[in-house]
């Protein structure tokens, strides 16, 4: 564990196991290079995140990238999350280009240059898969949150990630299932199982993640009020529960809750802070929205 500029850097046990295996098989130089590529990949994420003022508490390095623990959580804009996510694969692009240049000038052998180019390509493309917590999964969530509610974004992201990580596990054992001579693909199986378990936990924690999103709405509201912004109305009936109304919130929007009769008569209009605070203070999500006025 190393702490550098306020961020704790750790190596995930999965990476340690692969490193020990590489020593036994004589591929330590290749793995050390992979470690360096992954480290620079994560530096790209951290540099852009801190450029936006995020607090990055910890980065865990994995064989295919890393997992960053960010203090700001769901309170950051989707655009910032997308830029932070894409910053990692962009590091692999310039490193692959540099490896090609070193190979062309003869400073590196053609074989080693091709290895580094291939390793960067694999890391970048794998991380762009739409599976959480990979960069592609974060890009997927950022895009979804621009088009649908945040609660639905969490659910769709979890389901897609579970399906694709499960498919990765099946693909890894497919040769064995068909009785092929190549057998199981151990590296792909280990990574697939890791992603499957991670997303299984993520799916179970959706209520907590949504609650964290709600607790950050005060910061979001202040940001909108400071610079001025359009308010996106949410129209609900007087029988709507607070929980149902909260699930209609979008990530980068400020909301006004309009309680309306079926006839079209407006009974009340309240800012989103009133709804969020009403829920957080008494923790009764099944209360009707209209009760907040009584």
Hey, which residues are catalytic here? Answer: 42
Give, in order, the Cα–Cα distances in Å from 285 to each of 54, 203, 206, 211, 274: 31, 20, 16, 12, 13
End-to-end CA distance of the chain: 54
Nearest Cα neighbor of 110 from 122, 102, 121, 118 is: 102
């Amino acid at each position: 564990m190393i702490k550098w500029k306020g961020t704790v850097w750790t190596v995930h046990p999965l990476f340690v196991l692969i490193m020990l295996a590489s020593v036994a098989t004589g591929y330590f130089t290749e793995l050390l290079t992979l470690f360096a590529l992954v480290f620079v990949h994560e530096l790209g994420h951290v540099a852009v995140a801190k450029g936006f003022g995020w607090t990055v508490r910890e980065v865990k390095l994995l064989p295919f990238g890393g997992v960053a623990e960010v203090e700001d959580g769901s309170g950051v804009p989707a655009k910032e999350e997308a830029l932070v996510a894409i910053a990692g694969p962009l590091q692999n692009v310039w490193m692959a280009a540099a490896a090609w240049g070193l190979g062309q000038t003869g400073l590196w052998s053609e074989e080693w240059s091709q290895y580094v180019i291939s390793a960067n390509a694999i890391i970048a493309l794998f991380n762009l898969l739409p599976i959480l917590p990979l960069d592609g999964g974060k890009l997927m969530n950022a895009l979804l949150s621009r088009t649908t509610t945040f609660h639905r974004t969490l659910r769709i992201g979890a389901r897609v990630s579970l399906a694709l990580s499960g498919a990765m596990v099946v693909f890894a054992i497919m040769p064995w299932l068909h009785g092929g001579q190549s057998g199981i693909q151990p590296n792909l199986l280990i990574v697939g199982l890791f992603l499957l378990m991670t997303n299984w936990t993520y799916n179970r924690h959706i209520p907590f993640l949504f609650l964290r999103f709600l607790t950050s709405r005060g910061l979001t509201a202040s940001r909108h009020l400071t610079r001025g912004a359009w308010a996106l109305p949410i129209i609900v009936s007087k029988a709507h529960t607070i929980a149902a109304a909260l699930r209609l919130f979008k990530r980068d929007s400020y909301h006004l809750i309009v309680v309306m009769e079926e006839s079209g008569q407006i009974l009340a209009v309240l800012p989103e802070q009133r709804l969020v605070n009403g829920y957080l203070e008494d923790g009764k999500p099944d209360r009707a929205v209209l009760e907040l006025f009584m």
